[in-house]
Chains A and B, each alone.
Chain A
């Protein structure tokens, strides 16, 4: 079923991983701030969960780039 993929080089796997991380980041930053902060007691910068997501995904990109 996936025979055509067997011909791809191993670096394509890392590229695929980066596409997944980038897509998630794009989804996160497409959400309105009001939606992200909904229910929060204040709108402090540290409560912006999009920033949390960016840090997390940056770490993942680093790991998959190295290994």
Chain B
């Protein structure tokens, strides 16, 4: 691939470039200022449990919307239409509500730093380490995806070589993430979300105007691409059949993502109160309702206005930026895009760091680390995860669509991990041994289904079903934990405590 190393000449305006560099400098300095707040590992990993609901809510969406959503989401909308929005609506909102009411209270009261730590308390250290290994590996791969998506955009828009683009973006985001920890991540996420929504609204207005107004835009879509206006695709659709969307995405993948994703949940664990933690997810769900504005509309603009069919659907957004937006506005969208990348990378790095530091190395070491050692190790691990992500980035090019690649990665492990969390919270009778074996066998089963070529949505569903069945079957013949060991970890204990208070 020639574009990995060579510059290409583009006609980007000085206004756009100025906007980009002003943003990069501003956000880096703002994020770096949070270094002064970090004195302990709790400050670094959980922002000292001081975050209000609205900052966390904005941070959640900033984390959730990555460059893969911009590029891959717009590409998906170009290819399959409004069905792409299922990932933002039915594939998010119900699960976010469940996460707010059912999961966050348990995590928050357990006083844990991570989801694997909760699993460790609920089940055993083995479950904690295995889940941390899986989630950390996913985090590194996903950082690679984010970096690749950004580099693709930089290459198309500025003509920069992909490898150079990856290194530069990683360097900028790494500076404040390594130094400032979760507080820097959360507050910069909030700023970045405002930029992202501003950019999206401006692009929507310009795109609809270019299509001849809202009525013309809607009627053109209706006449030329009626199949693109349905949220559900036929059950015979190869990529997103509606039964798979309902059962796999709606019932398993989405709850698994929103209830078990460490990068998402970490800021909720840093909430100043339990109510702030719950409200933050509800606030994020409200913002999530409008996210298709960011990702679906640009895909539709390319669909209607590109003179010929794009060879690669992920080129839909770069086409819109290059051909539809005037100088200044294209720069704004570009800044929004970089903001999305930075918020996702910083959050993912921070969460990978906490899992490797506390859930893998912390458990493996015989001597408990002092707080200062843990803080230093956390920073080193953050940097190491970033470097690993840089090396993983080129893998993304092997897949047909960036968004599908991310979902495929998730579908391998989310079913079993979600089964352990959900059943572990709801039923006191589920035993540590059942947790370990259900996790291992569920993961193996998901891998087998993947090798057999089963659609990823069904893969997640069936691995979840098997893990649930195994949890109950093995629990029936093994010994559960004592009630005192499960305090604040299961549904009955937490709800009862709230009512008693």
Q: Which residues of A contact B (CB under 8 A)?
A: 1-2, 5-6, 8, 10, 13-14, 16-17, 20-21, 24, 27-28, 31-32, 34-41, 47, 49, 52-53, 56-57, 59-60, 63-64, 67
Residue from B101, B102, B230, B251 having most chain A Cβ neighbours under 10 A:
B101
Question: Which of chain A's residues have a CB closer than 8 A to the CB of B232?
Answer: 10, 13-14, 17
Question: Which of chain A's residues have a CB closer than 8 A to the CB of B66?
Answer: none
Contacting residue for A2 out of B101, B231, B285, B458, CB 8 A: B458
Question: Which of chain A's residues have a CB closer than 8 A to the CB of B230?
Answer: 10, 67
| 8 pairs of A and B residues whose beta carbons are closest in the complex | A39-B274, A39-B273, A39-B275, A13-B232, A13-B242, A40-B275, A35-B498, A5-B243
B499-A34 in contact (CB<8A): yes
Beyond the given pairs A20-B94, A21-B94, 20 more chain A to chain B contacts, judged by CB atoms under 8 angstroms and listed by A's residue number, are A1-B462, A2-B458, A8-B235, A8-B243, A13-B242, A16-B250, A17-B231, A20-B250, A20-B251, A24-B94, A32-B495, A34-B501, A35-B498, A38-B274, A38-B498, A39-B273, A40-B275, A41-B275, A49-B282, A56-B285
Please give me the residue from chain B that is nearest to A66 by CB atom: B231
Contacting residue for B235 out of A6, A17, A24, A28, CB 8 A: A6
A67-B229 in contact (CB<8A): yes
A17-B279 in contact (CB<8A): no
- Which residues of B from 461 to 501 have beta carbons under 8 Å from A? 462, 494-495, 498-499, 501
- Which residues of B from 236 to 287 have beta carbons under 8 Å from A? 236, 241-247, 250-251, 273-279, 282, 285-286
Question: Which of chain B's residues have a CB closer than 8 A to the CB of A52?
Answer: 279, 282, 286
Q: How far, in whole Å, are A6 and B278 apart by their CA atoms in the complex?
A: 38
Question: Which of chain A's residues have a CB closer than 8 A to the CB of B293?
Answer: none
B204 within 8 A of A: no
Q: How far is the CB of B284 from chain A (nearest CB, A)?
A: 11
Question: Which of chain A's residues have a CB closer than 8 A to the CB of B236?
Answer: 6
A64-B231 in contact (CB<8A): yes
A5-B100 in contact (CB<8A): no
Question: Which of chain B's residues have a CB closer than 8 A to the CB of A20?
Answer: 90, 94, 246, 250-251
Question: Which of chain B's residues have a CB closer than 8 A to the CB of A38?
Answer: 105, 274-275, 498, 501
Between A and B, 15 residue pairs with Cβ closer than 8 Å are A1-B458, A1-B462, A2-B243, A5-B235, A10-B232, A10-B234, A17-B231, A28-B101, A32-B495, A39-B278, A40-B273, A56-B285, A56-B286, A60-B90, A60-B289
Q: Which residues of B contact A (CB under 8 A)?
A: 82, 89-90, 93-94, 97-98, 100-102, 105, 229-232, 234-236, 241-247, 250-251, 273-279, 282, 285-286, 289, 454, 458, 462, 494-495, 498-499, 501
Question: Which of chain A's residues have a CB closer than 8 A to the CB of B275?
Answer: 37-41, 47, 49
B243-A34 in contact (CB<8A): no
Question: Which of chain A's residues have a CB closer than 8 A to the CB of B247?
Answer: 2
Q: How far, in whole Å, are A6 and B458 apart by their CA atoms in the complex?
A: 14
Residue from B241, B242, B274 having most chain A Cβ neighbours under 10 A:
B242
Q: How far, in whole Å, are A53 and B236 apart by their CA atoms in the complex?
A: 33
Q: How far is the CB of A33 from chain B (nearest CB, A)?
A: 9
Residue from B229, B231, B277 having most chain A Cβ neighbours under 10 A:
B231
Q: How far, in whole Å, are A59 and B291 apart by their CA atoms in the complex?
A: 14
Q: How far, in whole Å, are A20 and B285 apart by their CA atoms in the complex?
A: 16
A36-B82 in contact (CB<8A): no
Question: Which of chain A's residues have a CB closer than 8 A to the CB of B454?
Answer: 1
A60-B101 in contact (CB<8A): no
Q: How far, in whole Å, are A17 and B501 apart by their CA atoms in the complex?
A: 36
Question: Which of chain B's residues have a CB closer than 8 A to the CB of A5?
Answer: 235, 243
B235-A60 in contact (CB<8A): no
A31-B101 in contact (CB<8A): yes
A35-B495 in contact (CB<8A): yes
Q: How far, in whole Å, are A52 and B247 apart by their CA atoms in the complex?
A: 25
B235-A59 in contact (CB<8A): no
Please give me the residue from chain A that is nearest to B282 by CB atom: A52
Q: How far, in whole Å, are A42 and B90 apart by their CA atoms in the complex?
A: 32
Known contacts: A24-B98, A35-B495, A49-B278. The answer to whether A67 contacts B82 by CB under 8 A is yes
Q: How far, in whole Å, are A28 and B232 apart by their CA atoms in the complex?
A: 26
Q: How far, in whole Å, are A34 and B245 apart by their CA atoms in the complex?
A: 35
Question: Which of chain A's residues have a CB closer than 8 A to the CB of B501?
Answer: 34, 38
Known contacts: A16-B246, A17-B246, A56-B282. The answer to whether A34 contacts B273 by CB under 8 A is no
Question: Which of chain B's residues have a CB closer than 8 A to the CB of A16?
Answer: 242, 246, 250
Please give me the residue from chain B that is nearest to A17 by CB atom: B90
Q: How far, in whole Å, are A12 and B246 apart by their CA atoms in the complex?
A: 11
Question: Which of chain A's residues have a CB closer than 8 A to the CB of B458?
Answer: 1-2
Please give me the residue from chain B that is nearest to A54 by CB atom: B97
Q: How far, in whole Å, are A13 and B89 apart by their CA atoms in the complex?
A: 14
Please give me the residue from chain B that is nearest to A47 by CB atom: B275
Q: How far is the CB of B21 from chain A (nearest CB, A)?
A: 38
Please give me the residue from chain B that is nearest to A52 by CB atom: B282
